Amino acid sequence: MRRAEERATATTPVSMQRDVLTVAERLGQLRREAERIGPLADVLVALPRRGRLYEIAQPDDTERLLDRAAADPEQNLPYWAEIWPSGIALADEISCHRGDLRRQRVLELGSGIGVTAIAALKAEAELTVADYASESLILCRYNALRNTGREPATIQINWRQPDQAAFAGTVGAFPVILAADVLYETRDVEPLLALVGRLVTAGGLLWLAEPGRPVAARFLEAAREEGWEGPTEMHPGPWPDPKDDGVVVRLHKLRRAG
Ligand SMILES: C[S@@+](CC[C@H](N)C(=O)[O-])C[C@H]1O[C@@H](n2cnc3c(N)ncnc32)[C@H](O)[C@@H]1O
């Protein structure tokens, strides 16, 4: 953690609709906020094809998070706290095609702790990320700033109960929407497709990465019925966690008929 903080210059201003802080000051502030979630582990994540290395802080005590989730009436498990092959594969793809996102207004849904967000910011996207877990948004901001010197805009939202105000002024506003491994519960299929359809520009893109889950297949079928189409690429890793050996991520690059 220290190495990256030391690399941040003491004079770079970070403007975030609050006081102007240096990158180092803002990193310190976000790190303190993130540590309130619980102990953190700092890990290196390698992008398989581009070979880029990201420094990622992630919660080190998932038991504690699971205990907290047990009290959640919606039973939302803390999947945001892990690093998933789909997020890495999507980051890798963005890193190989940076021009597709450069200076584009981009939305990432279910951003977790920010692996994909880092690649989008490195590609110079104007990035907004959305997730229901406020803790994930803090870590996403921290990991993004630490690796890119920039933070995304953040929206805390559960797309099963969309707060119309949260996306005010952004209907049909995003030429690119990203999502990595967000389809594992049937209850998400319909609201997610409706939200993407509402927020994407006419003829816009959805880059969806997923590891072959049946719920994702259901989403894709419904999306195709609504006019989304495009190729699927396979990404076999390797992934940092040996428990993910054998996972093949499908990257669907869908475009909605304009
Ligand atoms: C499996 S994790 C993937 C995280 C990240 N995209 C990655 O690949 O590392 C799923 C993410 O989607 C978020 N998510 C799942 N269902 C959601 C919902 N209904 N509304 C908002 N966020 C949701 C979770 O909080 C989590 O961050």
Is pLDDT above 70 for 16?
no
Write out residues with Cβ below 6 Å of ligand 1: 79-80, 83-84, 86-87, 110-112, 115-116, 131-133, 136, 158-160, 180-182, 188
For the segment 201-214, the average pLDDT, to the nearest whole number, is 97
Number of domain units in the chain: 1
Confidence at residue 25, expressed as pLDDT on a 0 to 100 scale: 96
For the segment 201-206, the average pLDDT, to the nearest whole number, is 96
Confidence of residue 209 (pLDDT cuts 50, 70, 90): very high
Confidence of residue 18 (pLDDT cuts 50, 70, 90): low
> What integer best gives the mean pLDDT of the chain?
90
Confidence at residue 70, expressed as pLDDT on a 0 to 100 scale: 72
Start-end of H helices in the chain: 2-7, 23-35, 62-70, 85-96, 115-122, 134-148, 189-199, 214-225
Is pLDDT above 70 for 17?
no
Can you give the CATH number for the domain in which 35 is found?
Answer: 3.40.50.150
CA of 110 to the centre of ligand 1 (A): 4
pTM reported for the whole predicted model = 0.91
CA 113/CA 239 separation, integer angstroms? 16
Q: Up-side HSE of residue 192: CA atoms within 13 Å toward CB?
A: 29
Is pLDDT above 70 for 229?
yes
Range of the domain at 248: 3-256
